[in-house]
Amino acid sequence: MKKLPEKFQMNRKTVCVQGLGFVGSAMALAIASAKDNCGEPLYNVIGVDVPNEAGYRKAMSINEGIFPFENNDKKLKEAQKNAYRNGNLWATTDYEYFQYADVVVVDINLDVKYTEKQEPLLDLELFKGAMHTLGRQIKPGTLVIVETTVPPGTCEKIVYPIISEEFTKRNIDQREIFIAHSYERVMPGENYFDSIVNFWRVYSGINEDSADRCQRFLESVISTEHYPLTRLEKTTATEIAKVLENSYRAATIAFIEEWGRFAEAVHVDLFEVIEAIRMRPTHSNMRQPGFGVGGYCLTKDPYFAPLAAKEIFGLGNMDFPFSTKAVKTNRAMPLVSLDKIESLLGGNLKGKKLLVLGVSYRQDVGDTRYSPTEIFVKEAQNRGAEITCQDPLVSYWNEMNMQVLTEIPTFHEYDAVVFTVQHKLYATLDFKALPLKEELLIFDANCVLNKKQRLDIKQLDHIKFACIGR
Ligand SMILES: NC(=O)c1ccc[n+]([C@@H]2O[C@H](COP(=O)([O-])OP(=O)(O)OC[C@H]3O[C@@H](n4cnc5c(N)ncnc54)[C@H](O)[C@@H]3O)[C@@H](O)[C@H]2O)c1
């Protein structure tokens, strides 16, 4: 067996977290923060990522006491500091460390890939490979908790058969397989840590014993006395719960897009309309018009049920028109803003200079994966526009290979300034005090500017101003 860090105490159970991305890194800290009755760390935690440069970088960052992703959550920073001091969290890219695990929490990615015709397909190879690794390494009786968002049916029809195959090769009794599913609702941002430890969870197991063990584990990490757990009967049910939860959100966002366009055409402020409707308790969480949907989850999860129906359950004739339409509508949404800007700039973007404020997928986070701004910027460049981007939390935009300003520049040299993300920084802009050149177009694509800012801009008669949804 490999050597363990000196500070690991051997009377503690060991939890391995597979995948040290946005979810796994935070979950590893949540587990390392769990305490026993004497207030001492309950677990030794080993984070395991892939043995490549990116995986190694994340592991080393954790070992140096630094969270691998830019974040502004005080509790997460505190948890990182404590784990470093206690020495009960350590990370590696060596898969043999799974041999120590009493529990493995799976937080790797499972992606959708697209054909040339943009048809979605499940990309299962990486996930299957990771399950083979676990089957080869874990000891009999280890509980595997899948937190990754997976197509319904995955635990029963992919995870169990793979671990069973590997256990058979190792002459391990099949009764030693324990698999549970409990999906993440983590929200990077100011409440990153709380969105794990102070939040409700749904869970299930491939059998009663797996579910019971998962329950005990979750109770030791999450404040379940305040945020009760919900147990569902089987893993396919919790897998459906996750993708339905996200598909519902994606569909309700997409639904509002057509109402935004209608409201703009008839000169009505749809935000005020929605505020009025939200007074009715049954409609209190109605969505509002915006710039589009980004991030790793809502852009793929609505495809998981249709793809699972076909590829995992063989239900070739099962359509999910709302879910699939939602993804397509949300992907096209940034172009609604772009078309409007083009028309306001005289019908041609060639040579026009646009300053885009906000490249991350969500306010006050630095994650740029599948950001709607990417769709917007690519198409604006196709149409000949010159783009400068600014974001307080992103200095280099990996997906676009683009340098990003972190400070807001003066607006002088631009034909249009486009607000795309509700970063707090933008609420501090005082448009009355800013030098603004004549005929500048200010475009609020995502309800970024507050009422005072909008009124201030409207009073400047040499400035053109337009919004999505108003
Ligand atoms: N990001 C979110 O806000 C969020 C919220 C809820 C649920 N989820 C779900 O959680 C899962 C993880 O998301 P994420 O945002 O952390 O993704 P991510 O891409 O940031 O992280 C995944 C990590 O897994 C690692 N990995 C891949 N294969 C591995 C292997 N075989 N062994 C060890 N490590 C491996 C990758 O290198 C990467 O570091 C996804 O299913 C996602 O849909 C994400």
**Class of domain 246-467 (CATH, top level):** alpha beta
Nearest residue (CA) to ligand 1, atom 3: 187
* Choice from 17, 108, 399 to test ligand 1 binding pocket (greatest atom count within 8 A of CB): 108
Q: Is 97 in the pocket of ligand 1 (CB under 6 A)?
A: no
pLDDT score, position 316: 85
Region 382-402 average pLDDT: 96
In angstroms, the Cα distances linking 266 to 68, 259, 276, 287, 445 are 47, 11, 18, 20, 18
pLDDT score, position 72: 84
Q: How far is the CA of 428 from the centre of ligand 1 (A)?
A: 34
At position 62, the amino acid (one-letter code) is: I
Q: Is 130 in the pocket of ligand 1 (CB under 6 A)?
A: yes
Q: How far is the CA of 54 from the centre of ligand 1 (A)?
A: 13
Per-residue pLDDT band at 71 (split at 50, 70, 90): confident
Task: Work out which ligand 1 atom sits closest to the CA atom of 22.
Answer: 16
pLDDT score, position 435: 86
Region 127-137 average pLDDT: 98
Dump the DSSP string for 178-201: EEEE-------STTTTHHHHTS-E
Q: Is 105 in the pocket of ligand 1 (CB under 6 A)?
A: no
The pTM score is 0.94
Residues of the chain with CATH 3.40.50.720: 13-233, 246-467
Region 226-247 average pLDDT: 98
Q: How far is the CA of 267 from the centre of ligand 1 (A)?
A: 43
Per-residue pLDDT band at 461 (split at 50, 70, 90): confident
d(CA 248, CA 406): 34
DSSP reduced 3-state for 83: helix
> Residue 340 pLDDT more than 90?
yes
Burial category of 391 from C-beta neighbours within 10 Å (exposed 0-12, middle 13-18, buried 19 and up): buried
Region 18-30 average pLDDT: 98
Region 101-112 average pLDDT: 97
DSSP reduced 3-state for 42: coil
Burial category of 302 from C-beta neighbours within 10 Å (exposed 0-12, middle 13-18, buried 19 and up): buried
Q: Identify the H or E element spanning 323.
A: helix 321-344
Q: How far is the CA of 333 from the centre of ligand 1 (A)?
A: 26
Greater model confidence, 470 or 141:
141
Residue with tokens 């970063």: 423
378: its two tokens: 């690519």
* Choice from 18, 20, 22, 362 to test ligand 1 binding pocket (greatest atom count within 8 A of CB): 22
Q: Is 148 in the pocket of ligand 1 (CB under 6 A)?
A: yes
Average pLDDT taken over every residue of the chain: 96
Over its C-alpha atoms, the chain yields an Rg (Å, rounded) of 24
d(CA 56, CA 418): 37
CB distance 389 to 414 below 8 Å: no
Per-residue pLDDT band at 406 (split at 50, 70, 90): very high
* Choice from 107, 191, 200 to test ligand 1 binding pocket (greatest atom count within 8 A of CB): 107
- Please report the beta strands in 127-254, taking only residues with DSSP state E, as ranges in sequence order: 143-146, 178-181, 201-205, 229-231
At position 216, the amino acid (one-letter code) is: R
d(CA 258, CA 261): 5
Q: Is 31 in the pocket of ligand 1 (CB under 6 A)?
A: no
CA angle 425, 431, 436 (to 5 degrees): 115
- Exposure string (b/e) for 70-83, b if CB count within 10 Å is 16 or more? ebbbebbbebbebb
Q: Is 47 in the pocket of ligand 1 (CB under 6 A)?
A: no
Task: Work out which ligand 1 atom sits closest to the CA atom of 129.
Answer: 31
| CATH, range 13-233 | 3.40.50.720
> Residue 364 pLDDT more than 90?
no
d(CA 212, CA 216): 6
Q: How far is the CA of 188 from the centre of ligand 1 (A)?
A: 13
d(CA 70, CA 76): 11
Q: How far is the CA of 109 from the centre of ligand 1 (A)?
A: 4
Nearest to residue 134, comparing CAs of 107, 106, 154, 111?
106
CA angle 130, 327, 147 (to 5 degrees): 30
